[in-house]
Structure 1
Amino acid sequence: MAQNRSDDTAASPDAAPSGPARIDGVDAARAIAVFGMFTVHLGVESMGLLSPEGYAWTLHGQVRGNSSALFALLAGLSLALMTGRTEPVTGDGRRRAVVRVLTRAVLIGMLGLLLDLTGVPVAIILTYYAGFFVLALPLTRLRTGALWAVAGVLAVVGPPLSFLLRDTVIDAGPRTSSLSSLTEFLLTGYYPAITFMAFVAAGMAVGRTDLRSTAVRLRLLAAGAGLSVFAYGGSWLLLHPLGGLDRLVEQGTAFMGGYPITPGMDPVLLEQLRAGVMEEANSISGQVPTDTWWWLAVNTPHTGTTFEIAEAVGQALIVLVACMWLAERVRWLMYPLASVGRMPLTVYTGHILVLMVIVGVDPVDWRQPWLLEWFVLGALVLATLWRLVASRGPAEAGLAVAADGMVDIVEERRRGL
């Protein structure tokens, strides 16, 4: 249960316009993040096509953490679109954009609090996202290069800073909900800002580029591949040739006490101990333990290390470019997927409410084979039908109306001064 609760994503405000300038591939990528969330929330026992004895855990492990990172990156991309696309908006336009972002953040945060009250075994991310939007507002003045620099600094400096603060200053108490304190939001929660703001800043950097340009897409693809190689290769180098994994074995984990490694040690036992450490690493939900700095060498999901951030951003860029390419060449096939990505807040909220009913009926054995497939199919069908009759999902339309209304109020008061 804890592992399923630890992840996964939420809905960002769908900020891209619905007209011809909209890029369906971005929506398709957002839908993939949503379905990754479904996979983690429902768990391997809810899969029908894949069994727990087969590739179900492989799929679960691949999307866990990466889907929330992808959605955070796309949230940053949406913020860039809301605040000027390739050129940061200034003057009156910036003021109106800030009002819209703040209004959306407040409403999304309130919705997150309400969904958290449903008691479903899911770490609701909406309240975190609301805070990310507010933190990202000063970054909306920046262009692509500066935003990539911010993302890089957060990815490199954030993990050791978080480690140091949690080791010496912060006393992380037990989690009682998805988000219950400022400390959880910044450092110790399921989706700590010190990690996820790197994804948001990277997404804003992507949103400041011309995503219709083939050259830009090729650069993003190369960057994604390079970051992935760095993440896997760097972590492997530190853990294996440089002995980090054995230092973690000697330090001990939640599964076992420290175990000294000696010359001539039984290689079978040593491999079992190493596997125990990696099992511990794969069960982390937000940030690594602070008993040894070697934890910063892992790149498993939800660890918040530099390697995990690089791996998640790299894979997100690859998924984004692939979705844009496919959406332009097999539009009919990608249409349902893009439809889900056009109404992520609606789909996210809907899946939580449906899950609340299912868990309420059978709190113990609610995970049943094919449940995941039904969730995915239901989202695809309903989102496609809705797109045929309306340009936005109901939740997205409500956000837009509220944001525009708040802009009108602010402008009227300015004129009255």
Structure 2
Amino acid sequence: MGGRSETPRAGRGTRRRDAAGARLGGVDLARGSALLAMMATHILPTFERDASSSAWSPTWVGLVFSGRAAALFAVLAGVSLTLGRVPAVRNRAGLALRAAVIAAVGLTLGLAEVNVAVILVQYALLFWCALPVLGLRRQALGLLAAAWLLAAPVVAYLLRPALLESPQPLRLGHNPAWADLAEPGRLLADLTVTGYYPALQWFAYVLVGLWVGRADLARTSTQAWLVVGGVVTAVTAKACAWAFLTPLGGLNVLLATDQARVWPLRAMLEANLTGVDQTGTWWWLTTASPHSGTTLDLLHTSGTSAAVIGGFLLLARVGPLMRTGLLAPLAGAGTMTLTLYTAHVWALSLPVADLAHVTRETLLALHVTVALAVGLFVNANGWRGPLEWVAHGASRLGLLASGAPPRTLRR
């Protein structure tokens, strides 16, 4: 009888370890996919001009990845705060120091001359903003996320004109860099409201990620619900935006604004609304356009992010795929996104006179191949990426400062 009782316990333990491994593996796969999708949006155009008609139209990258890739990155930031040997709720000091490392890397990348909206400083700010809510229960997080999704875009719409119409518009117009610390008011306004990734709206993604991460992600039913619920949410948001803009006439109002005379607005509404000052009419809040920061945009991209996370969690349960290593390169890249993202942006800033003959597609293939190869090599050896190592050291330092027992500091 004693022998029979030990076997089931061992089996349950093995299943729990396998489920936890699949959970972490699925999150790494989702991170890797977010990284590669962001590379695509950085290198390939999101909309292009037709040579014959001179009209602008969105590209496949703009239709598929624009807005969704960066949103997935941000939602995964929230999910990551609930994972690991020592969750962030038990190591707030470590999270704050880790975010400081990310901000320092972002400010340094801001010195590079590159046509990429670097997300790292805003990413760090989102981590700092998460510190007060880490201890909330899942139900409270869900309610707060819902309220934030509804209210933040309205608050941003009301604040944006005052910030942009001041004697010196509170917008950087470039990636945050160390020199911008000399103008803290302008920097803060850009990071929170007027910049590329306004934290006022983007904090909703972190809240959604925290809510998702607090679920039992090892359960197949949870993973399936993430896929189904995410797809339904994404489709519903787009359907509502279409109803507002087409049958109800919102698109005609937007195309009559001053912004439509400056930008190819019809194409940008489909591919990327970055740079457009959404002021002057409340109809801006009815779009679900990529990077519009509206409620419908946040709902759509939160839905696609949840569906991708759920899908990769389900995929990670497929034993042959994981055991044979077919997904190992993508998972490896997902374990060191900070290093690979930084290297990717830095590489794009290098002089390319000798590579003038290289197409954008070839350049993207090169970046993706290197990222997958490096991620696979580093992860296969049980290492961390160099910047992940620094961030992990900052987190450990936070644990030591909080007086955590040594056993919690093991890798």
- Report if TM-score (shorter chain) is over 0.5: yes
Partner of 1:341: 334
1:248-305 residue CA offsets vs partner (Å, 9 max, x unmatched)? 2333533369xxxxxxxxxxxxxxxxxx542243442167510211111111110001
Partner of 1:203: 209
Mapped contact 1:74–1:203 kept (Cα < 8 A): yes
In structure 2, runs of 5+ residues without a counterpart are 1-19, 47-56, 181-186, 405-411
Partner of 1:122: 116
Mapped contact 1:191–1:286 kept (Cα < 8 A): no
Partner of 2:172: 175
Within 5 Å, which residues of 2 pair with 1:353-368? 353-359=346-352, 361=353, 368=360
1:81 aligned counterpart, secondary structure: coil
Q: Structure 2: how far apart are the matches of 1:363 and 1:146?
A: 52
Partner of 1:285: 274
Are 2:158 and 1:164 equivalent residues in the alignment? yes
1:308 to 297, 315, 327: 297
CA change 1:77–1:348 in 2 (3 A) is same
- After the TM superposition, list the runs of 4 or more consecutive aligned residues in structure 1 that deviate by more than 6 angstroms: 362-366
Q: What percentage of residue pairs aligned between the two structures are identical?
A: 33
2:403 aligned counterpart, secondary structure: helix
Partner of 2:409: none
Are 2:27 and 1:26 equivalent residues in the alignment? yes
Q: Which amino acid aligns with 2:30?
A: A
**Residue 321 of structure 1: how far off its partner (Å):** 1.1
CA change 1:195–1:288 in 2 (3 A) is farther
Are 2:244 and 1:238 equivalent residues in the alignment? yes
Partner of 1:401: 393
**Residue 84 of structure 1: how far off its partner (Å):** 6.6
Q: Structure 2: how far apart are the matches of 1:158 and 1:363?
A: 43
Are 2:384 and 1:370 equivalent residues in the alignment? no
CA change 1:79–1:29 in 2 (3 A) is same
Mapped contact 2:224–2:314 kept (Cα < 8 A): no
CA change 1:158–1:23 in 2 (3 A) is same
Q: Structure 2: how far apart are the matches of 1:22 and 1:320?
A: 10
Mapped contact 1:75–1:203 kept (Cα < 8 A): yes
Q: Structure 2: how far apart are the matches of 1:398 and 1:190?
A: 26
Mapped contact 2:230–2:302 kept (Cα < 8 A): yes
Mapped contact 1:188–1:286 kept (Cα < 8 A): no
1:64 aligned counterpart, secondary structure: coil
Partner of 1:297: 286
Are 2:234 and 1:228 equivalent residues in the alignment? yes
Q: Which amino acid aligns with 2:298?
A: I
Are 2:394 and 1:388 equivalent residues in the alignment? no
1:253 aligned counterpart, secondary structure: helix
1:201-248 residue CA offsets vs partner (Å, 9 max, x unmatched)? 000111111101122122222320221122111101111111111222
**Residue 125 of structure 1: how far off its partner (Å):** 0.9
Q: Structure 2: how far apart are the matches of 1:379 and 1:159?
A: 35
Q: Structure 1: how far apart are the matches of 2:85 and 2:277?
A: 35
Are 2:37 and 1:36 equivalent residues in the alignment? yes
Q: Which amino acid aligns with 1:72?
A: A
1:139 to 133, 139, 148: 133
Q: Structure 2: how far apart are the matches of 1:244 and 1:327?
A: 42
TM-score when scaled to structure 2?
Answer: 0.80
Q: Structure 1: how far apart are the matches of 2:390 and 2:171?
A: 35
2:67 to 60, 65, 68: 65
Mapped contact 1:83–1:140 kept (Cα < 8 A): no
**Residue 357 of structure 1: how far off its partner (Å):** 2.2
**Residue 64 of structure 1: how far off its partner (Å):** 1.3
Within 5 Å, which residues of 2 pair with 1:67-106? 67-81=69-83, 89=89, 94=90, 97-106=91-100
**Residue 174 of structure 1: how far off its partner (Å):** 4.9
Q: Which amino acid aligns with 2:267?
A: E
Mapped contact 1:151–1:201 kept (Cα < 8 A): yes
Q: Which amino acid aligns with 1:230?
A: T
Pairwise CA RMSD: 2.6
**Residue 194 of structure 1: how far off its partner (Å):** 1.3
**Residue 317 of structure 1: how far off its partner (Å):** 0.9
CA change 1:155–1:214 in 2 (3 A) is same
CA change 1:327–1:287 in 2 (3 A) is farther
Partner of 1:11: none
Partner of 1:265: none
1:165-224 residue CA offsets vs partner (Å, 9 max, x unmatched)? 113455344534223410011101100011110001000111111101122122222320
Partner of 2:221: 215
Mapped contact 2:237–2:288 kept (Cα < 8 A): yes
Q: Structure 2: how far apart are the matches of 1:138 and 1:396?
A: 24
Mapped contact 1:30–1:74 kept (Cα < 8 A): yes
TM-score when scaled to structure 1?
Answer: 0.79
Q: Structure 2: how far apart are the matches of 1:44 and 1:66?
A: 15
In structure 1, runs of 5+ residues without a counterpart are 1-18, 46-54, 258-275, 413-417
CA change 1:212–1:248 in 2 (3 A) is same
Mapped contact 1:288–1:296 kept (Cα < 8 A): no
Q: Which amino acid aligns with 1:373?
A: A
CA change 1:334–1:248 in 2 (3 A) is same
Q: Structure 1: how far apart are the matches of 2:95 and 2:103?
A: 12
Mapped contact 2:22–2:218 kept (Cα < 8 A): no
CA change 1:98–1:256 in 2 (3 A) is closer
**Residue 349 of structure 1: how far off its partner (Å):** 1.3
